[in-house]
Amino acid sequence: MQLGIIGLGRMGGNIARRLVRDGHEVVAYDQDAATAQALVDDGIGHAESLAALVESLDAPRAVWVMLPAGEPTEATIDALAELMAPGDTIIDGGNTFYKDDIRRAKALEPKGLNYVDVGTSGGVWGLERGYCMMVGAEDATFDRLEPLFDSLAPGYGDLERTRGRNAPNERAERGYIHAGPVGAGHYVKMVHNGIEYGLMQAYAEGFELMQSKASPDLPEDQRFDLNLADVAEVWRRGSVVSSWLLDLTAQALAGDPRLDHYSGAVSDSGEGRWTVDAAVEQGVSTPVLANALFSRFASRKENTYANRLLSAMRFGFGGHVEPPKQ
Amino acid sequence: MQLGIIGLGRMGGNIARRLVRDGHEVVAYDQDAATAQALVDDGIGHAESLAALVESLDAPRAVWVMLPAGEPTEATIDALAELMAPGDTIIDGGNTFYKDDIRRAKALEPKGLNYVDVGTSGGVWGLERGYCMMVGAEDATFDRLEPLFDSLAPGYGDLERTRGRNAPNERAERGYIHAGPVGAGHYVKMVHNGIEYGLMQAYAEGFELMQSKASPDLPEDQRFDLNLADVAEVWRRGSVVSSWLLDLTAQALAGDPRLDHYSGAVSDSGEGRWTVDAAVEQGVSTPVLANALFSRFASRKENTYANRLLSAMRFGFGGHVEPPKQ
Amino acid sequence: MQLGIIGLGRMGGNIARRLVRDGHEVVAYDQDAATAQALVDDGIGHAESLAALVESLDAPRAVWVMLPAGEPTEATIDALAELMAPGDTIIDGGNTFYKDDIRRAKALEPKGLNYVDVGTSGGVWGLERGYCMMVGAEDATFDRLEPLFDSLAPGYGDLERTRGRNAPNERAERGYIHAGPVGAGHYVKMVHNGIEYGLMQAYAEGFELMQSKASPDLPEDQRFDLNLADVAEVWRRGSVVSSWLLDLTAQALAGDPRLDHYSGAVSDSGEGRWTVDAAVEQGVSTPVLANALFSRFASRKENTYANRLLSAMRFGFGGHVEPPKQ
Amino acid sequence: MQLGIIGLGRMGGNIARRLVRDGHEVVAYDQDAATAQALVDDGIGHAESLAALVESLDAPRAVWVMLPAGEPTEATIDALAELMAPGDTIIDGGNTFYKDDIRRAKALEPKGLNYVDVGTSGGVWGLERGYCMMVGAEDATFDRLEPLFDSLAPGYGDLERTRGRNAPNERAERGYIHAGPVGAGHYVKMVHNGIEYGLMQAYAEGFELMQSKASPDLPEDQRFDLNLADVAEVWRRGSVVSSWLLDLTAQALAGDPRLDHYSGAVSDSGEGRWTVDAAVEQGVSTPVLANALFSRFASRKENTYANRLLSAMRFGFGGHVEPPKQ
């Protein structure tokens, strides 16, 4: 089918390519004209403006917005809302906060515009592996767009089928789901990323514990100089902790076992934060998800006021003066 | 090669079977004679006593102890030490604390006995999938036993090779490593299990956040009745959080999406605890591993003294009386 | 000076009493007429309606709203805004979210109405001990109302003066501060309560560790049957952990050392949650404040989905079946 | 009564002074002869050696060891054990691990020597305020030494009596307790310090949240430039979070509100770690105590392997490159 796509960064460009490969017709727009131009050789149409993009599509139109969440996405959707016609659909494939989806869908409804939120996982690997998608949409809208999701998804692949699975439809097994009404797609993706933080932190703490085991502070017979690239590799095979993140760990350690390329200041994105906010709002205990987030916060700061205050108290009650940093 | 094996539970029996299938000669002993008898049809020899087991093997002997960690393993190794001869090797394949391995190896050394610790992951799936093994041993001892590990390990399988991997030997890619001297095998396995707790808790918290999203306490448009079996299934395909534990989650939810079979009182074993002890000993911050453990502790208790004290303080400063449990 | 007060619950009634004792003129209104009537003997005026309350005061009026945060406070302030005149002031002494204060002040500004937020700590003890207050307000408004805060605050008392203190004014030493512009009072109070959760949880965990030390699971010589009422009492004298919360703990344990009166389902209020939200918003690592909150969440639930999923995974990979709860 | 004291550091010297002031006879020994000499003017006797110290006392002797826990204390007790006679008593007033107390008492028993563990809180303020003490000892030994504890303790002071207190003896109200058999004193002190870590971290996180509120990253109307010295001061008066640690905080902030003197690398001592070990051993959930400890660990390290691994994974799945540190 036909799709307009806006935003041709790491994700948007590959989504366009994967759709065209599967026979869909794609017209793309990007603020940076050169970026859009570069896709022409891949068979992707190129519009000079938002208005031109909308005009180039047949009604009922579908336009996929693949921009950074927040202001860039919001402004683009506002502009599209002015250009599109009743029956058209705007798809937000970025990392939008699910309550913003709900708000937008309500605002677009009086204009007869449909809104769809697609949570997309797969990162830079999606072109090859396919994208795992969680979609929030009204039923009819989802049904109309389903061919797109089917093309973008990884498909059955060679994964072993889940024992006991007896589901009414096999979309999930092909790599996409209709999670629920508007907002549900990004909600599931948000939790996905919250889990991702927790998983990553679990590996990180464990590998730190293996790396530190070579420390000269330990008794000699308890010191182990472990080959962490080998550990990551062996765990890929038959262990309980095998995962795609472990595959990536094995890959990183194969090339640079000491990880000297990295500063250790770890960024976080909205989804990890929103997950904790959701936990607080719903009264759900999520110590692992929250502490994984807090560890990232701490990784980016030195000598915080909090820690200086601890030292000040220690000096106050015990006259303790801290030794220098390790 | 030839191996004696002691303890034919869930793990030991399958280890024996997998070795015999690959052409090794195995003699087994179990306190429960019937258990050992049952393996005879699989081609596994059967000894009536520890002494008979040792006698039935050619020197230098190798005996694999596959018993619960602690007293059962300790007593068996003590007994074996009396029966075996210089040059023989005792293998502890259970979940022993790595400092106990180091202590034992030192105690056996004057008798000329070798000691090997094998951390084994793979659980009930090992017979089919193979066992992922981390071995702590002196070099010569490891070399002599390597054919056993090679048979037990999963082998290359059809996993994609790790990009950039350029390792001197490919044991890790076949599913076992010589982690280091005695104790290193169980240390790596201990951290493996610590990570496992963290990974499991991350999924658990995330799925709780999706399950609770159907709560009538939430505004109606923010309530989602998510199909969690589908969510787990779709994440298996191309998402960042795909893993074997997710495969198991998908399987559990396919059969029983509400998980009503389970009480929610979650056990823990020594390794999760020792991992936190190691973190404390080495001064490594492991909030995720520790909080995953604490969540299990809390899951097994109701109305703790700690919580009652919180209520008592709240009553003390604010006259607050708690509402009943949810 | 003259003050109207709305809401005569645990806090509001005592605030009115303390003001009248100190020579102020107070007119009170409560939805429940009987409650207001009961204060007449204490010299507190009684209005039959919001409108009557406003009418009974001389311009420029000051009205203190002391109601549950959220809807009750919001609706009352909306009603007052219709009744009051330019130059008048609305004081919110409840536990309002500081962003709501900022929003309201902006909405009231075009009407010439002033808004003040007062974070108040002291609970049921305030009538005797005085209230500790953190005020957010424009300078001129704060100055006009200061006599009220001065009367409500504990005053210098017999506390030792803080060494090295060299502050431009001594309000803080008398028990109230002008924290900053509108919102700042409730922000500081919010963080105060966040800290309170952390402090309480620290004591709770510690006392649990002392109570559990009598467990028959421990080796006999490591089992201690500690008198926890005595421990709390002794720590009040000269120890680093002495505090008012410890005083309350000592009091609770003096009467009921086993705390059998309490269910252990611990409530939480908005401020503990907002503190974690603020930490997430500002990228500040607050593991103790967040985990104290999560412990309360967990205290109110049994057999969560999260924990059942952990058991399901454990069954999946290891065939483990959980033992019954303790 | 008569007491020998070994170790005249920050604690030992003041203990000796406080005892002499109250009429006891004290003979002191310190490795550094000058330190001991300096106390002569305060009326404290001075021994040239351990042997001389023991000889100078009348049987049954009591010697208080006030040295760093671990090797220094252990070696001194071993030496004393050779010098002392049946019926004599060794008191360990340092921060010894309670299981070491139990082990030592057992080792000394065949020689007829008594062992007492005294957990002591009060730090550099003890000379003035008195020491809060938790004692582990056999009943007869405790009774014999009680006059010493009574002199060292703060006494009733001017604290309000705990309502409802109806205890058989009032030792706790004078500032010392007989916690239980050997080990119980240091166990209670260990938990005391674990709680102390949690309390300190709660304040530290809260003050960080108030300090960061001035950040230019926040919307202007939500930015507050709070006077934290005033906040600490006002909370001392009538608030729920008032405590001695808050007094110290107020004092530190009065002199240096930005805390620029401190590096923010926060040390920890054995007791915080042992508390977490005890929690793990007893299966008690202590997220606040453990995370307070972990925050200190993290404060002392930069660019940990754990954090570098997180960045490596982020690069692996998303091509993310971290921005520089804040």
Beta bridge partners of C167: none
Q: What is the pLDDT of residues D9-42, one digit of tens each?
A: 888 999 999 999 999 999 999 998 888 788 888 8
- State CA B128 to chain mean position distance: 17
The β-bridge relationship of strands C176-180 and D2-6 is unpaired
**A190: its two tokens:** 């948000």
Q: Which two tokens stand for residue C324?
A: 């019954």
Q: Are B326 and C300 spatial neighbours (Cβ–Cβ below 8 Å)?
A: yes
Nearest CA-CA distance, residue B232 and chain C, Å: 12
State the pLDDT confidence band at A326, using cuts at 50, 70 and 90: low
B279 vs D contacts (CB less than 8 Å): 294
In b/e form, how buried is each residue of D272-287, taking b as 16+ CB within 10 angstroms? Answer: bbbbbbbbbebbbbbb
Give the pair of three-digit tokens for residue C304: 């969560």
Residue B224 pLDDT: 97
Average pLDDT estimate for C92-105 = 97
* D169 CB burial (10 A radius; 0-12, 13-18, 19+): exposed
Q: Can you tell me the distance from the alpha carbon of A121 to that of B239, in angstroms, rounded to the nearest whole number? A: 5
Rounded percentage of chain D residues whose pLDDT exceeds 70 = 99
Amino acid at C257: P
Residue contact A324–D204, C-beta within 8 A: no
What is the model's pLDDT at position C128? 84
- How near does any CA of chain A get to the CA of D192, in Å? 14
pLDDT of residue D186: 98
pLDDT value for B37: 81
| Nearest CA-CA partner of C179 in C247, C246, C132, C223 | C132
Nearest to A282 among B102, B162, B212 (CB): B212
Compare all CA atoms of chain C with the CA of A273 and give the residue at the minimum distance.
C280
E runs forming strands in chain A: 2-6, 25-29, 45-46, 62-65, 89-92, 114-121, 132-136, 176-180
Task: Find chain C residues with C-beta within 8 A of D203's C-beta.
Answer: 195, 198-199
Indicate the SS3 state at residue D291: helix
Q: What is the ipTM of this complex?
A: 0.96
Residues of D in contact with C240 (CB under 8 A): 121-123, 192-193, 196, 244-245
Q: Beta-carbon neighbour count of residue A58 at 10 Å?
A: 8
Least confident residue range of B22-26, C257-261, D110-114: C257-261
Radius of gyration of chain B (CA): 24
* Orientation of helix C139-152 relative to helix C10-21, angle to 10°: 90
Put simply, the answer to whether A192 touches B235 (Cβ < 8 Å) is yes
Chain C environment of D154 (Cβ under 8 Å): 237-238
CB B9 within 8 A of CB B31: no
Q: Which residues of D are catalytic?
A: 189, 196
- Interatomic CA distance for residues A292 and D291, integer angstroms: 12
Q: Choose from B97, B187, B240 for mutation: most chain A CBs within 10 A.
A: B240
**D contacts of B288 (beta carbons < 8 Å):** none
Buried b (16+ CB within 10 A) or exposed e, B261-275: ebbbbbebbbbbbbb
Identify the H or E element spanning D20: helix D10-21
C189 Cα to chain B: minimum distance (Å) = 15
User: Within 10 Å of residue B58's Cβ, how many Cβ atoms?
Assistant: 8
- D40 touches D29 (CB < 8 A): no
Considering only CB atoms, D263 lies closest to which of A10, A311, A316, namely A311
- Residues of B labelled catalytic: 189, 196
Q: b/e for A93-123, b at 16 or more Cβ within 10 A?
A: bbbbbbbbbbebbeebeeeebbbbbbbbbbb
The mean pLDDT value of chain B amounts to 94
Whether D61 has its CB under 8 Å from any CB of chain B: the answer is: no
- The token duo for D147 is 């006059």
Residue range A252-276, pLDDT digits in tens:
999 899 999 898 999 998 999 999 9
Closest CA to D227 of A116, A274, A155, C185: C185
Which run of H or E residues covers position D255?
A: helix D244-255
Residue D116's pLDDT band, with cuts at 50, 70 and 90, is: very high
Distance to chain A for C243, nearest Cα, Å: 14
Q: What is the pLDDT of residues A6-37, one digit of tens each?
A: 999 888 999 999 999 999 999 999 998 888 78
Question: What is the distance between the alpha carbons of residues B17 and A52, in angstroms, rounded to a whole number?
Answer: 69
Is the torsion defined by CA of B278, B281, B286, B289 positive or negative?
positive
CB contact under 8 A, C283 and A291: no
Q: Which residue of C has its CA nearest to D195?
A: C202
Q: Identify the CA nearest to C121 among candidates D238, D55, D245.
A: D238
Q: Could you tell me whether strands C176-180 and C132-136 are parallel, antiparallel, or unpaired per DSSP bridges? A: parallel
Q: What is the mean pLDDT of chain C?
A: 94
Nearest CA in chain A to B256: A164
- State the Cα–Cα distance between residues D54 and D88, nearest whole angstrom: 10
**Cis peptide preceding A168, ω within 30 of 0:** no
For C297, phi and psi rounded to 5 degrees? -55, -50
Which residue shows structure tokens 């001869």?
B85
Beginning with the edge strand found earlier in the chain, give each strand of the sheet holding C176-180 in spatial order: C45-46, C25-29, C2-6, C62-65, C89-92, C114-121, C132-136, C176-180
For tokens 């093997």, the residue is: B57
Q: pLDDT tens digits for chain B (326 residues)?
A: 999 999 998 889 999 999 999 999 999 999 988 887 888 888 999 999 999 999 999 999 999 999 999 999 999 999 999 999 999 999 999 999 999 999 999 999 999 999 999 999 977 778 888 999 999 999 999 999 999 999 999 999 889 999 888 777 799 999 999 999 999 999 999 999 999 999 999 999 999 999 999 999 999 999 999 999 999 999 999 999 999 999 999 999 998 999 998 989 999 989 999 999 999 999 999 999 999 999 999 999 989 999 999 999 999 888 888 877 65
Q: What is the mean pLDDT of residues C30-37?
A: 85
> Cβ C243–D241 below 8 Å, yes or no?
yes
A-contacting residues in B 188-247 (Cβ below 8 Å): 188, 191-199, 201-203, 205-206, 208-210, 212-213, 215, 217-218, 221-222, 224-227, 229-231, 233-247
Chain C residues touching B260 at Cβ < 8 A: 308
For the cut 90, the answer to whether the pLDDT of residue A39 exceeds it is no
CB contact under 8 A, A296 and D310: yes
Nearest to C180 by CA among D209, D213, D216: D213
Chain B residues whose beta carbon lies within 8 Å of the beta carbon of residue D280: 273, 276-277, 293
Q: How far apart are CA B134 and CA B191, in angstroms?
A: 11
Contact of C128 with chain B, judged by CB distance below 8 Å, is answered with no
d(CA D287, CA C286): 12
Strands C114-121 and C89-92 come out as parallel
